[in-house]
Amino acid sequence: MSPALGSTAQLTLSRRPHQCTGWQRFVKCAEKCTEMFLPGREVDFAAFIQSVTFCIIITGFYGVDPGTLSPVDVAFMTNALNRHSDNTSRRIPLYPDELYAMRERVCRWVGGERASQALETILPAYESMWRLAAVTLAYANGNQHMHNAFLDFNENPTQKQFRSFKVKNTRPSVEAIINEVLRLHPPIQRIARKTRYPLWKRLFYPAQEIADIGAVHRSCVYGTHLETFDAMRFHPQHERPVDIQLLAFGHGGLSCAAEEWAPIATALIVAKVMDRVDNVGFVLAGKIFDARMYRNTRIGWDGWVVRKKEKGKVS
């Protein structure tokens, strides 16, 4: 776990998240934050899910009251974080002024002593979680079984419910759905490690070794029909069940500290959004989700919107 996490976050990231008080608080924050960003009429889907995710991270990890977050500040932060991710992938450094402005807002929310470390946690958490939530929502949108699995989890956000396969074990659990999204669309595509060649050999070899997570996830150890979304491949009684861990959280000593917690927490975000969007009369509308187009799930959301249901129209 990053040393950046404050005590609230440590509570939330406990091994059994659903059993600790931090988890109950996190569930409440997820509800409030989703509510806050539901639009008057129509809103860009990516911007909506980014704001909700950011708000849940800052309130859920650091005990900030959602009511104190101004939508303008949240929009500033999500835009800056998006630019930061984009620049990092193109190896362009972040503008110092922008970094200063981000830090100033985080200081205001979590206090000066925690601000720098908080940013170190918010960045990887935000970057991975909004994309995982967005892609999961896109897959589940219009699929009644997936939709129902998330609504059940929303009603009863426990680890048992997260892991329960549905309809007499013929339909996937929320965990299996999240795993399949992580398999096909790992938010972080590559991990790098310094090579360990002796000094004299380093002249002839690259300084880093790169593992392509997306490519590994499409290898035959994960079953058959590898380009097809099939969450049931994670069922233990599947004809060829997946019995190898995903690489989406990295590997070994440097792997992501939130590996156990992030899937269930992201599932909760998805469940809350689905519940509120349905209950308050909104629909998620977009183009057909084409898995091949979404290797980089940071982009490709043009045209996706969350919009109020028109009266009398069945979506």
Where along the sequence are the contacts to ligand HEM (CB under 6 A)?
Answer: 2, 121, 124-125, 128-129, 132, 187-188, 191, 248-251, 254-258, 262, 266
Question: How near is the Cβ of 124 to ligand HEM at its closest, in Å?
Answer: 4
- Residue number with CB closer to ligand HEM (172 or 250): 250
CB of 200 to ligand HEM, least distance (A): 27
Give the span between the Cα atoms of 252 and 56, in whole angstroms. 28
CB nearer to ligand HEM: give 12 or 305: 12
Q: DSSP string covering 137-172, please?
A: HHHHTT-HHHHHHHHHHHHS-SHHHHH--BTTTTB-
- Least distance from ligand HEM to the Cβ atom of residue 120, Å: 6
If phi > 0 it is left, if psi is from -120 to 50 it is alpha, else beta; for residue 252 that is left
Q: Which is nearer to ligand HEM, 255 or 285 (CB)?
A: 255
Supply the minimum distance, in Å, between the C-beta of residue 13 and ligand HEM.
6
Nearer to ligand HEM, 172 or 263 (CB): 263
Largest CA distance in the chain: 74
Residue 118 class from Cβ within 10 Å (0-12 exposed, 13-18 middle, 19+ buried)? Answer: buried
What is the number of other CB atoms lying within 10 angstroms of the CB of residue 183?
25
CB nearer to ligand HEM: give 183 or 305.
183
Minimum Å distance from CB 57 to ligand HEM? 7
Residue nearest to ligand HEM (CB): 250
Q: Are 235 and 225 in contact (CB under 8 A)?
A: no
CB of 258 to ligand HEM, least distance (A): 3
| Gap between the Cα atoms of 288 and 278, Å rounded | 19
Nearer to ligand HEM, 149 or 258 (CB): 258
